[in-house]
Amino acid sequence: MRLQATVSASEFDEHYQMAFVYCMDEPRHYCFSLSRFPDEECIEVMVRDQLVCKVDDVSVTLEGRTMNVALDSAVAARLDGESGYVIELNAAEEDLPGIRAALRKIFEGKSGLRVAG
């Protein structure tokens, strides 16, 4: 699935007490987010509106403003059936370091993240 999304991200949000990257494609009314609480081992994947699955790891590549996500078939089936996402982030250049930092925090101790460029 291809998304054109606004993005908000934090390595630690005071209100939610977690690291997150939240992407919203307004015209499609579709959201995709990754989050992780500091005391949890699992990464939470959320799609659409509150379809949630906790996973040990997930494959994410961030290249510039493009985030590619690959979910295994069991995880995709527990969400909405999509196993791959190409998310074009509508983010300013100065927001990219914060997005990278949030992803690194979410994937701390995990092997699924690749940041290119």
pLDDT at 72: 94
pLDDT at 66: 98
Mean pLDDT of the region 23-28: 97
Mean pLDDT of the region 24-43: 97
pLDDT digit string, tens, across residues 64-84:
999 999 999 999 999 999 999
In which domain, by residue range, is 112 found?
A: 2-116
Sign of the CA dihedral running 69, 72, 75, 78: positive
pLDDT at 71: 97
Residue corresponding to tokens 């078939």: 73
The number of distinct structural domains making up the chain is 1
pLDDT at 90: 97
pLDDT at 16: 87
* DSSP β-bridge partners for residue 70: 59, 84
